[in-house]
């Protein structure tokens, strides 16, 4: 069964550094997403990407964040100048909208620890 | 008001019990509704989509009431393996909004 994959599974970085989180969505999916979950809190939407551009973004997704689809398979989230409060699980998801259904399938996540 | 609101639980039930979870959503523009399951420190996994006509998948039944903006999940004959956090979700093509989740613990 096809699945979303993410690398790395765990990333430790120092405050102020830049990190790139990588995702390979399910191959025939058209929508790509990033969510984050701070420990003990709910899953929060960051950004969605469709047709090579951002479709929607949340208030969290400020100038510190950017997304890119550098080739036909990868989808990346870049976080510049990381802060302690960026420590969270970051989940990538993808979907193939059809017949009005927007089921999203999630990758296993990248645990980001900012020290 | 929270966009998606659900009772955090925990719900502690014996094996074989029937348990029901409810949630409400505030954004009337929501187009799709789901229940996801999340195990500790894992990703959300899609359990089922929710429709106004009701949706049943084995021991799981989900229902949507658009008029009252209310979503429910019924689990019959609970198994130990059902122990997890159940996330109520409302969304559009470009965004899902999650509730905080309801924790279920099924015991012997």
Q: Which pLDDT tens digit goes with each residue over A102-113? A: 899 999 999 999
Closest in B42, B94, B99 to A55, CB measured: B94
Fill in the DSSP letter of residue A27: T
Answer yes or no: is pLDDT of A100 > 70.
Answer: no
Give contacts of A35 with chain B, Cβ < 8 Å: 96
Q: What is the pLDDT of residues A12-68, one digit of tens each?
A: 999 999 999 999 999 989 999 999 999 999 999 999 999 999 999 999 999 999 999
Q: What is the DSSP letter of B69?
A: T
User: How far apart are alpha carbons B6 and B86 in whole angstroms?
Assistant: 10
Tell me the CA distances in angstroms from A17 to A20, A53, B10, B31, one per residue in order: 10, 25, 39, 39
Q: Report the gap between the CA of A81 and the closest CA in chain B (Å).
A: 25
Q: Which residue of chain A has the CA closest to B31?
A: A100
Chain centre distance of CA A45: 9
User: Could you say which residues from 70 to 109 on chain A have a Cβ atom under 8 Å away from some Cβ of chain B?
Assistant: 89, 91, 93, 95, 97, 100-109
Alpha-carbon distance of A72 to A62, in angstroms, equals 25
Residues in chain A within 8 Å Cβ distance of B32: 100-103
CB under 8 A, 24+ apart: contacts of B36-39: B36/B86, B36/B87, B36/B89, B36/B98, B37/B84, B37/B85, B37/B86, B37/B87, B38/A43, B38/B84, B38/B85, B38/B86, B38/B87, B38/B101, B39/B84, B39/B85
Residue A88: other Cβ atoms inside 10 A: 19
In the stretch 5-24 of chain A, residues with CB closer than 8 A to chain B read none
- Report, in angstroms and rounded to the nearest whole number, the Rg of chain B calculated over CA atoms: 13
Rounded CA separation B66/B44 (Å): 24
What pLDDT digit, counting tens, does each position of B37-77 carry?
999 999 999 999 998 888 999 999 999 999 999 999 999 99
A47: closest CA of chain B, how far (Å): 8
Q: Per the structure block, which two tokens stand in for A22?
A: 């990588």
**Are residues A45 and B97, on separate chains, in Cβ contact within 8 Å?**
yes
* Closest residue in A to B44 (Cα–Cα): A106
Average pLDDT (A6-14) is 98
C-alpha distances (whole Å) from A95 to each of B82, B83, B98 are: 25, 27, 16
Q: Tell me the chain B residues in contact with residue A107 when contact means C-beta distances shorter than 8 Å.
A: 43
Strand order in the sheet with B55-57: B4-6, B19-25, B70-75, B60-65, B55-57
What is the pLDDT confidence band of residue A99, given thresholds at 50, 70 and 90?
low
> What residues of A are in contact with residue B94 (Cβ under 8 Å)?
31, 48, 50, 55-56
Q: Quote the minimal CA–CA distance from B46 to chain A in Å.
A: 7
**Greatest CA separation for chain B:** 42
Question: B82's torsion region: left (phi>0), alpha (psi -120 to 50) or beta?
Answer: alpha
Mean pLDDT, chain B, rounded, equals 95
Backbone angles phi, psi at B66, to 5 degrees: -65, -35
């Amino acid at each position: 069964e096809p699945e979303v994959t993410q690398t790395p599974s765990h990333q430790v970085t120092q405050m102020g550094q830049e990190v790139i989180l990588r995702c390979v969505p399910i191959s025939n999916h058209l929508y790509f997403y990033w969510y984050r979950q701070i420990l003990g809190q709910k899953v929060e939407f960051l950004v969605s990407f469709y047709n090579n551009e951002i479709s929607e973004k949340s208030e969290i997704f400020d100038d510190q964040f950017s997304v890119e689809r550098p080739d036909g398979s990868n989808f990346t989230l870049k976080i510049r100048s990381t802060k302690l409060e960026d420590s969270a699980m970051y989940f990538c998801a993808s979907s193939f909208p059809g017949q009005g259904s927007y089921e999203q399938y999630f990758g296993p996540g990248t645990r980001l620890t900012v020290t | 008001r929270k966009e998606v609101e659900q009772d955090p639980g925990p719900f502690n039930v014996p094996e074989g019990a029937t348990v029901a979870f409810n949630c409400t959503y505030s954004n009337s523009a929501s187009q799709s509704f789901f229940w996801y399951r999340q195990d500790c420190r894992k990703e959300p996994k899609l359990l089922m989509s929710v429709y106004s006509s009701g949706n049943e998948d084995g021991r799981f039944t989900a229902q949507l009431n658009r008029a009252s903006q209310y979503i429910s999940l019924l689990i019959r004959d609970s198994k130990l393996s059902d122990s997890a956090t159940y996330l109520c979700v409302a969304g559009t093509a470009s965004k899902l909004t999650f509730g905080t989740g309801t924790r279920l613990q099924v015991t012997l």
